[in-house]
Amino acid sequence: MILAGPGGAIAQTDAPKSYTEAMNWYRSGAEAGDPKAQFYLGVALEQGARGRPDLPAARGWFKKAADGGHALARYKLAVMLQNQLGGPADLPEARRLYGQAAEQGVAEARYNLAVMRQDGAGGPVDLDGAADLFERTAREGIDISFLHLAVLNTRGRKADLVEAMKWARLAEAAKVDGTAGYIDALSPLLSEKQLADAAARAKSWK
């Protein structure tokens, strides 16, 4: 874990000399209201700084940091709210926090928000919004997004099997698990011309 003090990055000579000192340092900054220190204290507690994870305490510090605008804290808190970690689940709040973290540039939050929009978790189903987010996260290196895009393009009135195969080929190139079976199921539904068109679209995608 990279150490960053309550005031931001610190010089090597100012770094804590022990894990206990680091914990005390983070706690001091956290209790003083520094969102960065609150986030790192939450991470330490989540990972077991006291010998075993303390998820309720971690969740509490992530909440404080999230309220202070810390992007990664918003993401971490959303994960805990979505998966009922350290307290009760709250899917609408998780969805809201993922949205905030996504706007602050957290790609993983953008991906999780896309999944929630796709599934209608914590709010209405929004397939178009999910597709837009998955295409962005695909560009950001979250390769499983390709397979989500393939599946989305087989659903609803806007189904486009050639576009679905394009995304499946991109998932295949990225070695996404489960792609081979998907391609085997989709291929018989397309003509040779459509398969060639899909391959050409995949090749030209950037």
- State pLDDT tens for residues 96-119: 999 999 999 999 999 999 999 999
Q: What is the mean pLDDT of residues 22-31?
A: 85
Residue bearing tokens 């290196």: 141
Residues 103 and 150 in one domain: no
Instruction: Name the phi and psi angles at 5, rounded to 5.
Output: -75, 170
Q: Please report the pLDDT score of residue 54 as a whole number.
A: 94
Q: What is the mean pLDDT of residues 14-33?
A: 76
- Interval 50-80: pLDDT, tens: 678 999 999 999 999 999 999 999 999 999 9
CB 80 within 8 A of CB 56: no
Is residue 201 situated within a structural domain?
yes
User: What range does the domain containing 75 cover?
Assistant: 18-126
Q: Please report the pLDDT score of residue 22 as a whole number.
A: 72
Q: Please report the pLDDT score of residue 3 as a whole number.
A: 32
Nearest residue to 147 (alpha-carbon basis) of 125, 161, 165, 129: 165
Is residue 12 situated within a structural domain?
no
Domain end among 75, 101, 126: 126
Higher pLDDT, 18 or 119: 119
Is residue 136 situated within a structural domain?
no
Is residue 101 situated within a structural domain?
yes
Q: Please report the pLDDT score of residue 16 as a whole number.
A: 53
Q: How far is CA 185 from the centre of its chain?
A: 28
Is residue 40 situated within a structural domain?
yes
Residues 117 and 28 in one domain: yes
Sorting pLDDT into bands at 50, 70 and 90, what band is 23? confident
pTM: 0.86
Domain end among 78, 100, 126: 126
CB proximity list for 78: less than 8 A, separation 6 or greater: 93, 94, 95, 97, 98, 101, 109, 112
Is residue 147 situated within a structural domain?
yes
The mean of the pLDDT values for the chain is 90
Lowest mean pLDDT, pick from 34-38, 39-43, 50-54, 201-205: 50-54
Is residue 203 situated within a structural domain?
yes
Number of domains within the chain? 2
Residues 117 and 151 in one domain: no
Residues 64 and 116 in one domain: yes
Q: Please report the pLDDT score of residue 8 as a whole number.
A: 38
Concatenating the DSSP letter of every residue in 49-109 gives: TTSS--HHHHHHHHHHHHHTT-HHHHHHHHHHHHHT-SS---HHHHHHHHHHHHHTT-HHH
Q: What is the mean pLDDT of residues 67-94?
A: 98
Sorting pLDDT into bands at 50, 70 and 90, what band is 142? very high
